[in-house]
Amino acid sequence: MLSFGLLSRSPATRPALQQSSLFLTITAALANGLFISTSSFAAEHSIDIAPVAVTGNPLGVASDQLIVPVSVLNGRELSLRRESTLGETLNGIPGVTATQFGPNASRPVIRGLDAERVKIMQNGIGVLDASSLSFDHAVGIDPLIIEQIDVVRGPAALLYGGSAVGGVVNAIDHRIPTEPVEGLIGRAESRFGGANDERNGVAVIDIGNGRLAIHADAYKRKTNDLSIPGFAVSNRKNAADGTVRENRGRLVNSGAQSDGGALGAAITLDNGYIGTSFSTLNNNYGVVAEKDVRIDMTSNRWDIASELTDLSHVFHRVKIRLSYTDYHHQELEGSNVGTTFKNRGISGSFEAGHTPVGGLNGVIGYQFSNTNFEAIGDEAFVPNVNTQDKALYFYEEIPVTSSRHQSHKITFGGRFGHTKVDAKSSAILGAAQNNGFNPNSFALGGLYQFNPQWSLASNLSHNERAPSYFELYANGQHVATGQFEVGNRNFGLEKSNGIDAQLRWNNGKHTFNFGAYYTRFQNFIGLFDSGNIDLASGLPIANFQTVPATFKGLEAEGKFTISDQAQLLVRGDYIHAKNDRSNDYLPRISPLRLGSTLVYQRQQWNAKLDVLHAFNQNNTANKELATDGYTNVSAMIAYKLPSKVHIELFAKANNLLNQEIREHASFLKDISPAGERAIIIGARADF
Instruction: Name the DSSP letter for residue 468.
Output: P
Q: How confident is the model at residue 160 (pLDDT cuts 50, 70, 90)?
A: confident
**CA distance readout (Å), 534 to 135, 179, 488, 624, 649:** 21, 57, 17, 20, 55
pLDDT at 155 over 80: no
pLDDT of 402: 63
**CA distance readout (Å), 40 to 204, 211, 435, 604, 679:** 19, 22, 61, 20, 34
Phi, psi of 19 (to 5 degrees): -65, -45
Distance, in Å, from the CA atom of 340 to the CA atom of 558, rounded to the nearest integer, reads 46
Q: How confident is the model at residue 10 (pLDDT cuts 50, 70, 90)?
A: very low
Phi, psi of 477 (to 5 degrees): -80, 130
CA-derived radius of gyration, the chain: 24
Instruction: Single out the residue of 71, 57, 120 nearest to residue 571, CA to CA.
Output: 71
CB atoms inside a 10 Å sphere around CB 114: 23
- Residue type, position 454, single letter: W
544 or 537: whose pLDDT is higher? 544
3-state secondary structure of 623: coil
Compute the average pLDDT of residues 246-255.
93
Instruction: Single out the residue of 421, 395, 422 nearest to residue 410, CA to CA.
Output: 395
CB atoms inside a 10 Å sphere around CB 400: 14
CB 311 within 8 A of CB 318: yes
Buried b (16+ CB within 10 A) or exposed e, 235-267: eebeeeeeeeeeeeebbebbbbbbbbbbbbbbe
pLDDT tens digits, 606-624: 999 999 999 999 999 988 9
CB 158 within 8 A of CB 441: yes
Distance, in Å, from the CA atom of 186 to the CA atom of 217, rounded to the nearest integer, reads 9
pLDDT tens digits, 161-186: 778 888 999 999 999 999 999 999 99
Instruction: Single out the residue of 69, 114, 121, 77 nearest to residue 94, CA to CA.
Output: 69
CA dihedral 350, 356, 359, 363 (to 10 degrees): 0
**CA distance readout (Å), 74 to 144, 146, 566, 609:** 12, 9, 20, 20
User: What's the maximum distance between 2 C-alpha atoms anywhere in the chain?
Assistant: 74
Instruction: Single out the residue of 209, 318, 324 nearest to residue 274, CA to CA.
Output: 318
Q: Which residues pair with 521 in a beta bridge?
A: 496, 549
Compute the average pLDDT of residues 81-104.
92
Instruction: Single out the residue of 434, 379, 445 nearest to residue 410, CA to CA.
Output: 445
Parallel, antiparallel or unpaired: strands 593-602 and 566-579:
antiparallel
CB 42 within 8 A of CB 645: yes
**CA distance readout (Å), 144 to 121, 303, 506:** 16, 19, 32
Distance, in Å, from the CA atom of 364 to the CA atom of 351, rounded to the nearest integer, reads 6
CB 446 within 8 A of CB 97: no
Determine the length of the chain. Answer: 687
Strands (E), 507-539: 511-533
Parallel, antiparallel or unpaired: strands 605-614 and 118-122:
unpaired
DSSP string, 26-37: HHHHHHHHHHHH
pLDDT of 43: 36
What H or E segment, with its residue span, contains residue 25? Answer: helix 14-37
Q: Which strands form 70-74's sheet, in the order they lie side by side?
A: 70-74, 148-153, 167-172, 118-122, 125-126
CB 414 within 8 A of CB 441: yes
Region for 507 from its dihedrals, namely left if φ exceeds 0, alpha if ψ lies in -120 to 50, beta otherwise:
alpha
pLDDT tens digits, 352-367: 999 888 888 999 999 9
Domains of the chain: residue spans and CATH:
11-686 (2.40.170.20)
pLDDT tens digits, 122-139: 999 999 999 988 889 999
pLDDT at 296 over 90: yes
Q: How confident is the model at residue 655 (pLDDT cuts 50, 70, 90)?
A: very high
pLDDT of 61: 66
pLDDT of 576: 97
Q: How confident is the model at residue 45 (pLDDT cuts 50, 70, 90)?
A: very low
pLDDT tens digits, 656-665: 999 999 999 9
Mean pLDDT of the chain: 88
